[in-house]
Amino acid sequence: MRYLGIIEKYRQFLPVNSNTKIISLNEGNTPLIKADNIKDFLKVKFNIFLKYEGLNPTGSFKDRGMTMAITKAVEDGAKAVICASTGNTSASSAAYSARAGIKSVVLIPDGNIALGKLSQAMLYNAIVIAIKGNFDEALSLVKDISKRMSLVLVNSINPFRIEGQKTGAFEIVDDLGEAPDYHFMPVGNAGNITAYWKGYKEYREKGFSKKLPKMMGYEASGAAPIVLGKIVKNPETIATAIRIGNPASWDKAVKAKEESGGQIDCVTDEEILKAYKMLASLEGVFCEPASSSSLAGLIKYINSGKMIPDNSNVVCILTGNGLKDPNNAINNSPDIIKTEPNILDLETILVRKL
Ligand code: F0G
């Protein structure tokens, strides 16, 4: 049967009925890629899987939540939605709103959003407003204005976003036949860790798995309010997607960590970029910098002497596609080689390089 997106696939777990008009771009069904080259490189004896969420229709995991949020907004008669975003939420909201024929307003932190994400929101025809402030300030503004102007807020404090995003956990369990032992992921506004934990728990309650993973969440060191236990006023990191100092789902992230026996820690920009390059050069998987904080977290964890038992299944969520952020890709790669169109010059270069 033709794949029709996460709502059709997991309808029984989601708040829709037979009259609900589903707004979908056939999101979800993303690959769980076994990373044996990284496993060998790290000299570990457990299995590493990459859940490549960058293959969603707008290139990030946000589409799972947005298909639900926009479907429900339309069901409730909304004509416009609004969000604050470090980029991916805005791209997703703009795309699903276009599909639904409603307006999407997006507030972004001026100058701190990857180029690909900005181009998406613009071409999907959202009303794009850049504020001279950070994500936390944008979120506070959209919360207030959504009440004043009856706009539907589609940030992850909208519970339908969490409902949609929990299907990532279902897919992992469906693929592995059981929940993984460890689940590593980036943490920004903390909606996704909340969603995955809800998904794993619900799937187990329904008998689709017997165990639950340890939830291992990673903030960027310069934007690590949960790790520090206090709001970060001026968050800074190269991973602009998770440049957040006051996460909306803070408490729920802590709860996921505590209930699962996991941890929330942080990784430096250097560690993030190292994992980013490792994913691309060892596995051919191109994700954005924020996404690689899951693998960076795993590497930090094992380097700190923590043992992950042999043959465990470890999943790293790669939340967004690397194409969204071409500047970081180019800036963190070797220079391109320029030459005249001449076979001898070409041969000299290749002899040296190969
Ligand atoms: N990875 C990427 C690529 C993201 O875009 C985000 C969040 C996260 C991880 C963190 O997920 O917020 O649920 O903890 N991006 C939001 C946005 C904030 O506006 O696109 P989270």
CB atoms closer than 10 angstroms to residue 55: 17
Asked whether 141 and 155 are in contact (CB, 8 A), the reply is: no
Please report which confidence band the pLDDT of residue 112 belongs to, taking 50, 70 and 90 as the band edges.
very high
* Whole-number pLDDT of residue 169: 99
Q: What is the average pLDDT across 216-236?
A: 98
What does DSSP say about strands 32-34 and 214-220: parallel, antiparallel, or unpaired? unpaired
> Mean pLDDT score of the chain, rounded to an integer?
98
pLDDT more than 90, % of the chain: 99
* Whole-number pLDDT of residue 42: 98
Report the residue among 30, 51, 52, 60 best suited for mutation to probe ligand 1: largest number of ligand atoms under 8 A from its CB: 60
* Whole-number pLDDT of residue 150: 87
Distance 241 CA to ligand 1 centre (A): 5
Q: What is the average pLDDT across 203-228?
A: 98
* Whole-number pLDDT of residue 314: 99
Residue nearest ligand 1's atom 15 by CA: 241
- Gap between the Cα atoms of 288 and 272, Å rounded: 10
Ligand 1 atom with the smallest distance to the CA of 195 is 13
Query: What are 92-105's pLDDT values in tens digits?
Result: 999 999 999 999 99
Residue from 271, 291, 294, 275 nearest 283 by CA: 275
Asked if residue 188 has its Cβ within 6 Å of ligand 1, the reply is yes
What does DSSP say about strands 152-153 and 127-131: parallel, antiparallel, or unpaired? unpaired
pTM for the model stands at 0.98
Query: What are 43-53's pLDDT values in tens digits?
Result: 999 999 999 99
